[in-house]
Copies of this chain bind each other. A is one copy, B any other.
């Protein structure tokens, strides 16, 4: 989660919503990504999506069933769907996101009968730092 949090800090510095993700395979981080829709001019460029795409490319396969994803914020519907498609084994996330999350809120993607893969889910890891980063970011933008 340290790598994911560092990526979230980098996102904030780049004026992107501060969310970071890291993808782990066999105890090794294979991809780290920061949220970057503005920088990449890509509305799908959330940290989770970038980390999954990079890991799939590096490992040379579209199924990542032996990989874990660490992300600083509860994934949205898009990212939860991608996690299911990639067959990620374990999902670790920091802060819950009542406004846009789709794991324990809203679409609850993994709880649907239409979801074909459900990772093990662990939440609240690094939560205070992850949530603090987001709070500071939005406070500063409003201020």
Contact among B38, B77, B101 for A78, CB-based, below 8 A:
B77
Q: Do B101 and A106 touch (CB < 8 A)?
A: no
- Considering only residues 52-82 of chain A, those with a C-beta below 8 Å from chain B are 52-53, 56-57, 60-64, 76-82
A111 nearest CB neighbor, chain B only: B107
From known contacts A49-B44, A85-B44, infer whether A112 and B116 are also in contact, taking CB-CB under 8 Å. no
From known contacts A80-B77, A82-B78, A114-B106, infer whether A52 and B63 are also in contact, taking CB-CB under 8 Å. no
Does more than half of chain A's interface fall in helix, strand or loop, or is it mixed? loop
A78 nearest CB neighbor, chain B only: B81
Q: Is A132 an interface residue (CB 8 A)?
A: no
Interface size class of A (residues with CB under 8 A): 35 or more
With A and B bound together, what is the CA distance between A99 and B84 in angstroms?
A: 14
Residues of the B chain whose Cβ atoms lie less than 8 Å from the Cβ of A85: 37, 43-44, 76, 78
Other A-B pairs, 13, CB within 8 Å; known A42-B56, A43-B82: A41-B61, A42-B62, A43-B62, A43-B87, A44-B49, A44-B86, A77-B77, A77-B115, A81-B81, A81-B107, A99-B114, A100-B114, A107-B114
Interface pairs (14), CB distance under 8 Å: A38-B62, A41-B62, A44-B82, A76-B81, A77-B78, A78-B81, A79-B81, A81-B107, A100-B116, A102-B114, A106-B113, A106-B114, A106-B115, A107-B112
